[in-house]
Structure 1
C-alpha cells in the first residue's frame, strides 16, 4: 500500500515536472531563469483562466492591469511562459533589436496544426515560415504597389458607388472592397463570389482566430505527441480543418487550372507561387494556404479598420471635420471636387495620422502572436531561457500617451505620418512584421479620405463604442450613412461610370436587396 501511494505520488511529480512552464525550468546550461514579476496564477494551469477572460473583455482591464508589474510582466500559461511587453521601449528592444532570436512561434498543435494543417504562416515556427516569407516579399516591390494602386482606386470607386445605392449596408461595402482588392492581387481576377461564399470565408477567419489558444492542447503542446488513439480532442478540430481546407480548394482550384492552361491573368499565384522561376519549394497545399491566408489577412483587417473609422466619426465628429477640411483643401469642394487618389498621400497628412490613430485607439489585435526566443536572452538584469515567448501587449502600449481614451489624430503629426509602422505595432515588428503593411496603409488612406470627403455618419440607435467588428453578416453597430450632398453623389457616380464599375455597384445593390 505504501509502495502504491509513493508510486502514484512520484507519477504526479513526474507529470508536474514534465508540464512545468519554460520559465520555471533551468536553461540547458543549468542556469535558473530570472523573469519580470507577474500574476501568480494556479498550479499547472498558471494564468490560463485569466488570459481567457481577458480575451473576451472589451474593457481590457486585465491587460491594462499588467502595467502595475512594470514594462514587462510574466505569465505562465500551461507549459509555456509568455512575457508581456507593456511599453514601446521594451517592444523595440526585444522584438525589433533582437529580432534575429525572437522570430519563431511556440507550437500550437490545434490552431496551427489540425485547424490550419500547418499552412498559416502567421503561427508557424521559423523553420516553416522562412520560405513563405521569401515569396511574400514580392508583394512589397515598388512596381507591384503601383499596379495594386490602380486596382485599389478602382475597387474604392465601386465601394463609394455602393454607398450611394445602399448606404445601410456600409459595413458590407467595406468587406467587399477589402476582399476584392486582395483577391485580385493574389488570384488575379475581380471578385465574383456570392454573398454566401464571402460569408463562409469570413466565418473561417473568425473560427481560426477563435481557435488560437482556445484548446488546452495549444498550451500543453507536448500532449499532441501522445498516440493518436489517445487524442480524444482531435475529431471536432479535424472537422473544422477539413471544412477550412474544402473552402480554400473551392477558391484555389479554378485559379490553378487557369494557370496550368495559360489563361490566368497576372497575379501573385501565377507569377510567384506557381511560377517556375520563383522555385517555391512548398507543396501545392502550401501554396494554396499561403494564397488564401493573404486574402484572409488582407480583407479582414482592412474592413475592421474602416469600421473603426466609422465609430470614430460617431464618437469624435470634430476630428472627422478636420479631416474633411484637409481633403476639401486638396481636392476641392462640391462641383469643383475630385475624389482623393493615392498620389495625394503626401499632401493629406491628417488622413495618414487618422489611419494610425484608428489602429491605436481600437487595436484590431489586442495582443500579437508570441515571438518565441530561439536562444537565451539577457536583458537589463533578467535572464530569459530559450523558448520564452514575448508578446506585445497592444492595449498597454497603445495607451502609452496622453489622454489615451481620446481619438486624437494630432498625436501622430510628427513628420512620420506616412510611415504607418513608425511608433505603431499593430502590424507586428521585427522580422515577422506583416509583409503587406504598405498595401494595407494605402487602402486605409484611400478609403478614409474618400469616406471623409463624401459621407456623413450619424448614430442610428444605442451602441457601445468598444464593441464593434462583428461578422460581416451582422451590422457591427447602428449607423445612418448618407452622401454629403447631391454634388458628391454626382461625383461618385461619374467616377464610377468612367472606371467601368457603375453597373457592378448597381448589381451589388440588387444582390443585397434580395
Structure 2
C-alpha cells in the first residue's frame, strides 16, 4: 500500500527535484544566489569548538607540521578554537603566497601576549601591514640595508676578536653560551646604542635579554591561551592559571627599560640628530619610530646569529673532517701570520658553505613568523578566508630530500661546485630570514656577524668532542630545543688553540 502510493507519487517527486535544480540554476545565473565556495585546503580533521588544539604538541611544532605535510601535501589547513591556520610546506607555496600575493598576505596576526601585555606593540616584526609598519621599516632599513651594513664591520671584527680571547678559557657549555651572548650583545649594543657592555653582570644586558625573551616566547600563535581567548587579558594576575599575566608584567617592565636607554655616538645618536632637525609637530612621532627601531634592532640582532654559531660549534665537534678542510682553505688564503677578516670572504667558498649548511642542517628558525591574510582569497582552487594565519614551514623546506639529498647529514659540499658556491642550490637564507615584504631587514648585518665569528674561530681554534674514559671521542648528537629561534640543547666540546702562533694572534688581535 505504502509502496504503491510512493510509486504513484514518484513522478511528482522527480519533477520537484528537477524544478528545484532549474530554479536554483536560474537564480544563480541571475545573481540572486552566490556560487558554492571552493573547499578549504586539506588538513587534519578537527574536533568541535577546539579544532586541532589537542593535535598540536607543546614542543617542536615544526615536526608535527612536517608529519601533516607528508600526510596531506605541501599546503595544510587546520584550526585552533575557530581560528584558521594555513601551513606551507614547500618553497613553491611560500613563493606564490608570500611573494606573488604579498598584497594580501603581508600583515601579522595580533599577538595579545606580546603586543598588549608584554609591551612589544612597537615591534617591527609583529606590526600589522600598513603606514605605521612602513615608517618603522623605512627607519630600520636606513641603518641596516645592504649598502650600509658594511660600515659596522669594524665593530663586528672587534666583537669576534674579543670572543676568541674569551674562548681560550672555556670550561663548559654554560660558559660557551655566556661568552657567545656577551660577544653578540657587545656588537649590537655598540652599533645601536654606542654602549660598551661590562664583562660581567652588566645591568643593561639583564634588561635587554629579558625583553628579548618576551618577544621570542610570545610570537608563536596559540602558545598562550590568551591568544585564543582574548578576554583572558583582563583576568587578575593573582588568580590561579594567570601565570601569563605575571610573565607579561615582568617582560613589559624590561621592555620599557630597554627602550629608554641612553647612549654615546651610535645609530641612536644619528636618529636623535634627525629628530632635532624636524618640525615640532613631527618630532614626537619620529622619536617613537626611531626609538622603537633601536629597541627591535637589539632583540632581532642577537638570537638568530647566536643560535647559528652555537650550532656551528656542535657541527665542528661532530665533524672534524669538515673543520680540517675549512682550516686548510683558510691557511691557503690567509696564511698563519694574521687572522682573517671581511676582505678574505670571497676567497673562502668552503667557509661560506659551512655557514649556509649550519643554517640549513639544524634550522634555527624552524617556522617563519606568521603572516595574516587581509581578505578572502582563492588560491590553487582552495578558499583561504580573511583573517587566516599563514606559516612557512622552514624546517620542512630545508630538509626536503628533493632539494637537499641526505638532508639530515651535515654536508657543506652540497653548496660547492667547481670550487665555487653553486648558485643553483637553494640558499637557506631565504627560508630563515622570511619572504616577500616581511623579509628580515637585518639579514645583511646578521650574515656579516655570523661569518666573521665562524671564520675567526676556524682560523685559530680547534673544536672537538670530549674524550671518554678510554680516550675515544664521545658520541655527540644534535637535539634542538623548542622556540621561535631554536638552540641546541646543552652539549660539551673541547676548545683549544690550533698552535702557539694562533694563541699569540688571538691575544694580539692581529688582522691585516
How far did 1:153 drift? 0.8
How far did 1:281 drift? 6.1
How far did 1:123 drift? 2.0
TM-score normalized by structure 1? 0.79
Q: 1 CA distance for matches of 2:69 and 2:477? A: 24
Q: Is the 8 A contact 2:107 2:374 kept in 1?
A: yes
User: Which residue in the other structure is 1:465 paired with?
Assistant: 478
User: What does the per-residue CA deviation read over 1:48-75, in whole Å, with 9 as the maximum and x for residues that have no partner?
Assistant: 233343x347x92553442321111111
1:205 to 199, 203, 212: 212
User: Which residue in the other structure is 2:99 paired with?
Assistant: 96
1:155 aligns with 2:154: no
User: Which residue in the other structure is 2:148 paired with?
Assistant: 144
User: What does the per-residue CA deviation read over 1:180-205, in whole Å, with 9 as the maximum and x for residues that have no partner?
Assistant: 11111111232237436435533443
Alignment of 1:11-50 (within 5 A): 32=37, 34-50=39-55
How far did 1:251 drift? 4.1
User: Which residue in the other structure is 2:493 paired with?
Assistant: 479
User: What does the per-residue CA deviation read over 1:414-463, in whole Å, with 9 as the maximum and x for residues that have no partner?
Assistant: 64679996663111111111101011111111111111121111223665
Q: Is the 8 A contact 2:367 2:393 kept in 1?
A: yes
Q: Is the 8 A contact 1:117 1:241 kept in 2?
A: no
Alignment of 1:40-119 (within 5 A): 40-53=45-58, 55-56=59-60, 60-119=63-122
SS of residue matched to 1:304? helix
Task: State the number of aligned residues.
Answer: 455
User: Which residue in the other structure is 2:448 paired with?
Assistant: 442
How far did 1:344 drift? 1.5
Greater C-alpha Rg? 2
Question: Which ranges of 4 or more aligned residues in structure 1 deviate by more than 6 Å?
Answer: 226-235, 417-420, 469-475
TM-score normalized by structure 2? 0.79
User: What does the per-residue CA deviation read over 1:341-393, in whole Å, with 9 as the maximum and x for residues that have no partner?
Assistant: 11222111121221121111111222112111223333222222222222111
Q: Which moved more, 1:40-49 or 1:439-448?
A: 40-49
Q: 2 CA distance for matches of 1:303 and 1:469? A: 15
Q: Tell me, which stretches of 5 or more residues in structure 2 are unaligned? A: 1-33, 467-473
Q: 1 CA distance for matches of 2:383 and 2:334? A: 55
Q: 2 CA distance for matches of 1:233 and 1:121? A: 33
Alignment of 1:248-263 (within 5 A): 248-255=255-262
Distance 1:472 1:392, change over 3 A: closer
1:323 aligns with 2:322: no
1:270 aligns with 2:273: no
Q: 2 CA distance for matches of 1:369 and 1:153? A: 30
User: What does the per-residue CA deviation read over 1:291-317, in whole Å, with 9 as the maximum and x for residues that have no partner?
Assistant: 222212211111111000011112222
2:314 to 311, 314, 327: 311
Q: 2 CA distance for matches of 1:203 and 1:420? A: 35
- The alignment's C-alpha RMSD in Å is 3.5
Q: Tell me, which stretches of 5 or more residues in structure 1 are unaligned? A: 1-28, 259-263, 500-514
Q: 2 CA distance for matches of 1:473 and 1:63? A: 19
